[in-house]
Amino acid sequence: MAITTTQKAQAIIGTLQEYGIEFKASQIKALNKVITSLLSDGKSNEFVANYVATRSYIKKQLTALSKDFGLGDSDGNNKLSTLESKALLADIKADLKTAAETGVVVGVTVPPIVTVTLTGDASSITEGQGNVVYTVSGEANQTYTWKVDDNHTNDLVIAAGVLTLDNNGSGTFSVAAKQDNSAESVEVTTVSLLNSSGVVVASKTLTLLEDPALGQTFSLNTSADNIVGGSANDVINALSQATVATGTDTLTIADTINGGAGSDTLNITTNADNTDVTHGAIITNIETINIRAATVGTTSTLNATAIPGLTAVNANAGAGAVTVTGLASGASIGVIGNGVVVNGTTTYGYATASSDQIINISGGTLGGNITSSNGTAGSVTVNSSGANNTVGTIDVATGTSVTSLNINATTGLTAALAADYAATSSLTVKGAGDVSLSGLSTAAFKVIDASGSAGAFTVGNVGTNATSYLGSAGIDTVTLNTAITSAILGAGNDIVTTAAVATTTAGAVSGGEGNDTLIIASASDVNSTEKRAVYTGFEVLNNTSASTIAADGFTGVTSLITSAGGGFTALSTTQATAITVTSDQSAVTYSL
C-alpha cells in the first residue's frame, strides 16, 4: 500500500522527536504542511530530509543536545568539531530519508554523555620531592594521552604518557618534578588529557615549587663583598691568585662571607704561590672549602683555624700543591679529581695532632701524595667515591701511631701506604670498588680484613707482622709472609703466593670459592706433607721455583703450571694430564 504524504510527514517529525527535538504545536502544524507540500510538488524523499534537517530552529536544538547530552560528540570533549557536526547532520538526514521512505518513525538511541574528568591530589609539587597523582574518570576501556605543556617537559621526570581506563572507567597517572639544582622562580605548567583524536578533553594547572633545601650561588667581585647565605646549601666562588692580592682577585681582606644555615661551600681558585688563600677575609658558617691550585709547581695554603665550623677542605682538581693547617677534630681532608688533571701533593695537619683522620678521595683523582704534617692519630678513615681514584703515597703520621686504617671504597682506589702503623694495627677494606695497595710490606699491619669488600683486592706482600688475612668477595692477589697463621680467601678467582708461614695447621690458608691459584715462591715453603696440607681450596698450582715439588697433599688441585724450570712429583692422573709449561724444560722432572 502506498505511503501518503501525511504519513511521511508524521514519520519525519516523529524521528526528529526521537533525536530530542522539541516542537510547539504550531511548529508541528507548519512543518507538516511544508513537508506534504514539498512531497506533493514531486520533491524526493532525500530532498525533503535535507530541507528539514537544515532548518535553523532544528540545528539550534541539535547544538544544545550535543552540549547537554553528548549527541554526536564522538570524542567526549563536550563540543562538536566541524567533522563531528557534519557526521551528525549526515546521520539525521539519512534517518529522515528512511522515515519518509517507510512512513515509520526511526528510533534513535542517543548515547548517554560520558564526562571525562581529571583531578589531582595536589595542585603544586616541589622539585625532587614526591609526586602528584592524577585520577581520570570517563568511558570504560578508553585510551587517553596525558602530557605537560611544551615549555616544561624538561622540568618533570616523565612529561607524557598513555593511560587506558579500566572496566569501571577509572585510571591514574603521576607526575614528579626533577631536582635541577638551580635556583628559579616558581613556575606553572599545564597537565592535559587528550583523546585519541589529539583533542584536549580535560586539563589542570600544576605549580612547580623550588626545593627549599636548594641554595644560592654567589660569585665574588673585585670590590668589597658582604655575602649572607640563606637556610639552604649555598655556594660561593672566589679567585685568590697569589700571596699578594691583585686587582683581579675577588677574595680579599675587604670581604665578609657568612654562609648562614645549611651546608655551605667556598670554592677558591689560585694560580701562583699563595700563603693565605683567604687573603684575610672574614669567613663564618662555611662548612666546606675547595681549593683549586691551578698551576703546577705552586703551593696554596689555608689556615683552617681562622674559619670556625669548617668541616671539610679539599684540594680540587689542581696541578699545584695544597697545604692545610689547623683542621678541627672531626673535619676531613680531601682530594677531588676530574680524570684529567694530575693533582699536586696535598699536605694537611690537625690542630690537635692526635685527632682521628678522615681522608676523602673522589672524582677520578690522578696522582699526588697525601701527607700529614703532624699526625699522631690512632684511627684513619679513607673514603673513595665518584670515579676510580689513583693517588701516590698516603702518609698519615709522623711516626707509627695508627692502630686502625679503614678504607671505604665505593669506587676503585689505587694507593701506596707509608710505614705509619703500630705493630697491633689493623687494615679493614669495605665497599664495591677494587682496591690496590702497595707498601704493606713495611706498613706493619697485624690483621688485614677485606671480607666487607665486593671488589678485587690487590696488596702484594702483607708484611712480616701480618698474622691474619681475610679476603674480599672479588679477586684477591696477595703474597703471604712468615707471620701468617690464617688466610681465608673469598669468592673470587684468587691468586695467593706462598711463604714460610708460621703455621702447619691443615687448611690454615684456604682459597675459598672460585678457581684459585697457589703460586709456590720457594720449594721450601711446601717441602713436607704438613706444609702442603696448610693450603686447601686451590685448583691451580704454579711452581715458580726452579726445584721439583711434590703435588700430593694439595687438596683440590686439578691443574699445574711450571714457570721457572721446576717440576712436579707425586702427581695424580688428573694432574698429570693438566700441566701448562711456560719455561725451559731441559731438566724438569715429572712423575706420578
Question: Domain coordinates of the chain in residue numbers?
Answer: 5-102, 117-209, 288-432+447-459
Closest to 117 (Cα-Cα) out of 54, 186, 201: 201
CA 520 to chain centroid: 44
Query: How far does CA 238 lie from the centroid of its chain?
Result: 30
Q: Give the residue among 438, 436, 430 at the shortest CA–CA distance from 414.
A: 436
The partner residues of 205 in beta bridges, in order of sequence, read 190
C-alpha cell belonging to residue 437: 695497595
For 381, half-sphere exposure in the C-beta direction (CA atoms, 13 angstrom radius) is: 10
28-32-36 Cα angle (round to 5): 175
Given phi > 0 = left and psi -120 to 50 = alpha, else beta, which region is 26? Answer: alpha
CB 563 within 8 A of CB 544: yes
For residues 449-468, one letter each, b for 16 or more C-beta atoms within 10 angstroms of the residue's C-beta and e for the rest, the string is bbebbbbbbbbebbbebbbb
Kind and range of the H or E run holding 284: strand 282-284
Q: How far apart are CA 106 and CA 103, in angstroms?
A: 9
- What is the pairing mode between strands 160-164 and 143-148? antiparallel
Specify the pLDDT at position 574: 75
For residue 341, the Cα-to-chain-centroid distance in whole angstroms is 25
Amino acid at 295: T
Residues 480 and 456 sit within 8 Å (Cβ to Cβ): no
- 469 phi and psi angles, rounded to 5 deg: -135, 125
Phi, psi of 83, rounded to the nearest 5 degrees: -65, -40
What pLDDT does 69 receive? 56
The dihedrals phi and psi of 319, each to the nearest 5 degrees, come to: -80, -15
Burial class, 122, CB count within 10 angstroms (exposed 0-12 / middle 13-18 / buried 19+) = middle
Task: Please name the residue that has the C-alpha cell 589542570.
Answer: 204
Dihedral sign for Cα 87, 93, 94, 96, please.
positive
CA distances from 553 to 117, 295, 533, 546 (A): 79, 60, 6, 20
The full DSSP string for 552-592 is TT-TT--EEEE-SS--EES--HHHHT-EEE-S--TT--B--
Instruction: Provide the pLDDT for residue 114.
Output: 62
HSE-CB of 543 using CA atoms within 13 angstroms: 31
Strands of 123-248 (E only): list them: 124-126, 132-137, 143-148, 160-164, 170-175, 187-194, 200-209, 214-219, 226-228, 233-239
Q: Is 137 helix (H, G, I), strand (E, B) or coil?
A: strand
Return the pLDDT at 273.
Answer: 96
Give the C-alpha distances (Å, rounded to integers) separating 122 from 14, 115, 175, 209, 488. Answer: 50, 21, 11, 12, 57
Q: Options 3.40.50.970, 3.60.21.10, 2.60.40.10, 1.10.1060.10; which CATH number does 117-209 get?
A: 2.60.40.10
Contact between residue 314 and residue 335 where contact means Cβ atoms under 8 Å apart: yes
Burial 152-176 (b: 16+ CB within 10 A, else e): beebbeebeeeeebeeeeebebebb
The segments of the chain whose pLDDT lies below 50 read 110-111, 113
CA separation for the pair 37, 43 (Å, rounded): 9
The whole-number pLDDT of residue 306 equals 94
DSSP 8-state class, residue 19:
T
Distance CA 362, CA 389 (A): 6
* Dihedral over Cα of 498, 501, 507, 509: its sign: negative
How far, in Å, CA of 37 to CA of 378, rounded? 114
Q: Which stretches within 401-468 are classed as H helix?
A: 440-443
- Give the cell for residue 282: 672574614
Among candidate residues 417, 421, 411, 422, the one with its CA nearest the CA of residue 437: 417
* Run of H or E residues at 6: helix 5-18
Given this model, what pLDDT does residue 130 score? 82
- Return the C-alpha cell found at 538: 686451590
- What is the model's pLDDT at position 230? 84
DSSP 280: T
From CA 483, how far away is CA 441, in angstroms rounded?
12
Rounded CA-CA distance 381/402 in Å is 11
Q: Is 420 exposed, middle or buried (0-12, 13-18, 19+ CB in 10 A)?
A: buried
Query: How many residues are present in the chain?
Result: 592
- Say if residues 545 and 522 touch (Cβ distance below 8 Å): yes
